[in-house]
Amino acid sequence: MSSRAPRHVVVVGAGVVGLSCAWHLRRRGVEVTVLDRSTVGAGASWGNAGYLTPAMAVPLPEPALLREGLRGLADPDSPLAVAPRPGRDTLAFMAGFARNATTARWRRSLDALTPLASRALAAFDDLVAGGVPVDLREAPVRIGFRPGEDDAGLRHELDAVRAAGQPVRYSPGPAGTPFSDRITTVLELHGQRFVDPGQVLHALADAVRAGGGRIVEGAPVRSVGFGPGGLRVETWSGPPHSADAVVLATGAWLSELARDLGVRVPVVAGRGYSCTVGLREPLETPVYLPGVRVAVTPYRDGARLAGTMEIAGRDAPFRERRLAAVVRSVAPLLTAVDPASVHDPWVGPRPLTPDGLPLLGRTLLPGVHVAGGHGMWGLTLGPVTGALLAEQIVTGVDRPELAPFDPLRRRRPAPPPTDRATVTA
């Protein structure tokens, strides 16, 4: 630790990103307090699909998704939907998303994400080597297409990820179980992993506590500012906490606290739904169905179905209809799942930014950092984020690979996009 390193850091948010930051800070000898307004894993980190798939961690804004989103506006059961009467942040997000949904910007953002994604699986291995008992499972992701659904777009995308620097391997896979005969083309994406996200969160939280860190649940933070002798974190529920540094890792709620600290990039909630279903046949590997945008993952003694993207309020009520649409879309495509045995219904907010890049680094208030906005891939990228943020906080060194994720980037002029080969994703 350098002599300028903080002695005590408050991390706000006990999702995978906040807990990863906390664990890495403890590992570097820093005293840590994690505050969550609710409980460990109360946000997006709990009921997600559990894919650890850096090869799929590409920027969200791209031309095909923009077209699909616009078509879906008219269909309430579409995998992509925007809630009626969008607020100011949502409108700013949609305008920014449309600006960024070009092939050139997608390429530039992919280049930015690649150093992070390339280290993602090793960062999970580091957790395990450091004594966090995460149950990592290795298996190819099997991706199934119906007739008329073009696998060329996904292959182009994976080729672009490989060209950007990740070791991506995919091959044609066999049709048949767990797919029904409606799936006629299968790709297998190798070298990826999956987990039970709840198990990861508990393992991380237990390790933070066992290492001497504190986790305070039911502590909603209302503001961060200067106080006597350092930073002061005020909560709605109890006494303030003082700290030498603060990490805001509040997922889709990030803008609520970070906006006043100069972070103008809006973070909105891309709400996804999941549930557990029983199995009629064993399911050994994760399955992805791009045509309906649903991920299916072996989960305990069943499977987790996860899908839909609903741009809506972070805390909007659960909508039964959207989960039903997920289950209905999968039922004819997979023989392995039993759509009649739905349990553990869940909704969680993916923290989305308009340029598809996370926000990692310093705010205008010295000592206050943000870590969030990983969108579709915060579970995969959480541990590597924690490692990089802890390093920045403790050493004061800004690694060049963090530069594209500067939380203050909307305050600085963006470099012009370079136009290279086109991608049809």
Ligand X SMILES: Cc1cc2nc3c(=O)[nH]c(=O)nc-3n(C[C@H](O)[C@H](O)[C@H](O)COP(=O)(O)OP(=O)(O)OC[C@H]3O[C@@H](n4cnc5c(N)ncnc54)[C@H](O)[C@@H]3O)c2cc1C
Coil, strand or helix: which one is 417? coil
Which tokens belong to 179? 């797919």
Radius of gyration of the chain (CA): 21
Type and span of the H or E element at 94? helix 88-100
Q: Which is nearer to ligand X, 103 or 124 (CB)?
A: 124
The stretch near ligand X (CB under 6 A) out of 157-165, 260-268, 346-354, 407-415 is 346-354
- The residue within the footprint of ligand X, chosen from 187, 261, 334, 379 (CB under 6 A), is 379
Distance CA 367, CA 294 (A): 40
Q: At closest approach, how far in Å is the CB of 379 from ligand X?
A: 3
Q: At closest approach, how far in Å is the CB of 323 from ligand X?
A: 10
Q: Any contact of residue 13 with ligand X (CB under 6 A)? A: yes
Contact predicate 393/244, CB 8 Å: no
Q: At closest approach, how far in Å is the CB of 308 from ligand X?
A: 7
Q: Which is nearer to ligand X, 12 or 245 (CB)?
A: 12
Q: Nearest 10 degrees: CA dihedral of 402, 404, 405, 410? A: 140
Q: At closest approach, how far in Å is the CB of 305 from ligand X?
A: 9
Q: At closest approach, how far in Å is the CB of 257 from ligand X?
A: 6
Query: Alpha helix (H) ranges present in 87-220?
Result: 88-100, 103-118, 120-129, 152-164, 197-210
Q: Any contact of residue 79 with ligand X (CB under 6 A)? A: no
Distance CA 228, CA 53 (A): 44
Q: Any contact of residue 253 with ligand X (CB under 6 A)? A: yes
Altogether, the residues listed in the chain come to a count of 425
Range 216-235, binding ligand X (CB under 6 A): 220-221
Site string (296-325) toward ligand X, x via CB under 6 A: ----------x-------------------
Q: Any contact of residue 251 with ligand X (CB under 6 A)? A: yes
DSSP state of 123: H
Distance CA 354, CA 261 (A): 19
The stretch near ligand X (CB under 6 A) out of 147-155, 246-254, 260-268, 277-285 is 246-254
Coil, strand or helix: which one is 381? helix
Q: At closest approach, how far in Å is the CB of 307 from ligand X?
A: 7
- The residue within the footprint of ligand X, chosen from 35, 81, 113, 134 (CB under 6 A), is 35
For ligand X, how many residues bind (rule: CB under 6 A)?
42
Best CA proximity match to 324, nearest among 350, 347, 301, 352: 347
DSSP state of 402: G
Coil, strand or helix: which one is 16? helix
Range 263-282, binding ligand X (CB under 6 A): 272, 274
- The residue within the footprint of ligand X, chosen from 376, 387, 389, 390 (CB under 6 A), is 376
The residues, any chain, with a CB within 8 Å of residue 331's CB and separated by 6 or more, are 337, 339
Q: Which is nearer to ligand X, 170 or 299 (CB)?
A: 299
Q: Any contact of residue 16 with ligand X (CB under 6 A)? A: yes
Which tokens belong to 145? 């297409």
Coil, strand or helix: which one is 224? strand
Distance CA 295, CA 289 (A): 6
Range 36-75, binding ligand X (CB under 6 A): 36-38, 42-45, 48-51
Best CA proximity match to 372, nearest among 10, 110, 20, 7: 20
Q: At closest approach, how far in Å is the CB of 371 from ligand X?
A: 7
Q: Any contact of residue 290 with ligand X (CB under 6 A)? A: no
The stretch near ligand X (CB under 6 A) out of 90-98, 133-141, 145-153, 378-386 is 378-386
Q: At closest approach, how far in Å is the CB of 57 from ligand X?
A: 7
The stretch near ligand X (CB under 6 A) out of 134-142, 249-257, 401-409, 410-418 is 249-257
Contact predicate 170/189, CB 8 Å: yes
Q: How many distinct helices (H) and strands (E) make up the chain? A: 10, 21
Binding site for ligand X (CB under 6 A): 12-18, 35-38, 42-45, 48-51, 220-221, 249-253, 257, 272, 274, 295, 306, 348, 350-351, 372, 374-380
